[in-house]
Copies of this chain bind each other. A is one copy, B any other.
């Protein structure tokens, strides 16, 4: 059997490895347009922050190992351009300019996502960068190390923007963040987002939300981000306004698309074509709370979906239950985590949400090093079901969120979740964990 994979990052390589490990007789070919495979994309901000680490440290497993140890026909510098589902063929061209054509029995589209490049003047100026691929990470790190970069403007205030903000600050770079819409992290309650805002400001970051950006232009001493009411000068500009799925080729091939134009897949990662799978940042997923399709591209799902594709190529009949949209990021000393729906998303999914925001503590009464933890929790008034949780705090947030995530997978009500027997010891939390205190308060509203 010929199993072909387009894209050699998390989903693609995990599928390739698992198929080959389980059945070495299957002919596995991976087409990767860049020269990089299997790297920790999420680690890039932390690597860029550290002058003593090489960006190449992020490579989890080099191409050589996949080729020589695992017997995968891994073709880097190979850009797939066209899928022909009826003929079972993929055509494209390699970095030497030569065109290629391969036939497949089963195909996995794992083309990932790309940074959105907003349609503003100056996006192609030197020093204006985006971050998604390792090549882009390399470029940013090298730019910082070979240019005099004292200041940077980050356009966008999402996960990547926040993580890169911290990374650049760690390199001694003064950072301004700017975005057109008003509100820092508008997906969380004001009580929580204010804490993040306070942390960023405390660390010297300039925050400019609600600033329509007109253009980026080259100035005498660097770059200028020109907004309607202000102009921000900087030595470099990072554009981090989000990503979009690389699904054009799939769409042209006639595969159905789902939310936000991600490739629609069923629980077995099958696209609308029976011989084609899709996985990773280019594909959608079912949300465990709403059971509806959603697109929340994150690393764990990509890896897990890659495995599931492998299992289904091996005819094991695997179906993934779905995702809860659980995520965490660090903003300087602050941990920010979420799982499930916020009230707006809950309403959109057809629920009647009740919510509470509470302040609790990261440690026991009178225990040193005690910090505030802010929790926002959402439930459905009708069914009493837990719908989502957001947490912000200096410590003790990143892993706590997982208890709420598991509760979402289990379809627990807030009443059930509030009765969970969570661990307690003074250095790690109050007797009533912040999640339990919040659940207890939320129960009063439903």
Name A's B-contacting residues (CB within 8 A). Answer: 10, 40, 42-43, 46-47, 50, 53, 57-58, 60, 163, 288, 298-301, 303-304, 320-330, 335, 337, 339, 364-368, 396, 398-403, 405-410, 412, 416-417, 419-429, 431-433, 435-436
Contact = CB atoms under 8 A, between A and B. Distances in A.
B339 A423 contact: yes
22 contacts: A40-B365, A42-B424, A46-B426, A57-B366, A299-B431, A300-B422, A324-B421, A328-B425, A330-B428, A339-B421, A339-B423, A398-B399, A399-B399, A399-B402, A399-B428, A403-B406, A406-B410, A406-B412, A409-B416, A409-B421, A410-B410, A410-B412
B409 A364 contact: no
Contact of A417 (B304, B406, B424): B406
Contacts of A47: 366
Contact of A301 (B304, B321, B421): B421
Given A366-B53, A366-B58, A403-B405, A43 B431 contact: no
A329 B427 CA distance: 9
A40 to B, nearest CB: 5
Contact of A419 (B320, B337, B416): B320
A423 B409 contact: no
A300 B439 CA distance: 15
Complex A-B, nearest 8 residue pairs according to Cβ-Cβ distance, in ascending order: A410-B410, A399-B399, A328-B423, A398-B428, A402-B403, A324-B421, A406-B406, A43-B426
A416 B321 contact: yes
A337 B400 CA distance: 14
A408 to B, nearest CB: 8
Given A327-B424, A328-B428, A396-B399, 5 more contacts: A42-B364, A303-B432, A325-B421, A398-B425, A409-B416
A338 to B, nearest CB: 8
Contacts of A325: 421
A419 B60 contact: no
B424 A420 contact: no
A431 B399 contact: no
